Amino acid sequence: MLNRVRRLRGQVESIEHAIEREADCSEILHTMSACRGAFNSLMAEVLDGHIRFHVMDPDHDPTSEKAKAAQELIDILRAYLK
């Protein structure tokens, strides 16, 4: 996760520098889009871990209804954050 955060920091700094040098809007938007994707990936990873360690680990008893619901929630969140 730290690597993702460091990559995000670099992308945000790149946006800042692009704005400072009055770069073309499309360059700034492209970098912002990449930053948003990286942020969403980090969010999905943190939510996945939270569900697995604090709510219900779907790998513990994968046939239970709660485990199936937890896995469905993880899958939905990952799809939403893509």
Residue written as token pair 């799809």: 79
9 vs 63, residue with greater confidence: 9
CB distance 28 to 18 below 8 Å: yes
Please give the CATH superfamily to which domain 2-80 belongs. Metal-sensitive repressor, helix protomer (1.20.58.1000)
Please tell me the predicted confidence (pLDDT) of residue 27.
95
3-state secondary structure of 32: helix
The pLDDT tens digits of the residues spanning 5-60 come to 999 999 999 999 999 999 999 999 999 999 999 999 999 999 999 988 888 887 87
The structure's pTM equals 0.77
Please tell me the predicted confidence (pLDDT) of residue 52.
83
Please tell me the predicted confidence (pLDDT) of residue 47.
92
CB distance 4 to 35 below 8 Å: no
Calculate the alpha carbon distances from 75 to 8, 44, 49, 78, 81 in Å: 23, 10, 13, 5, 10
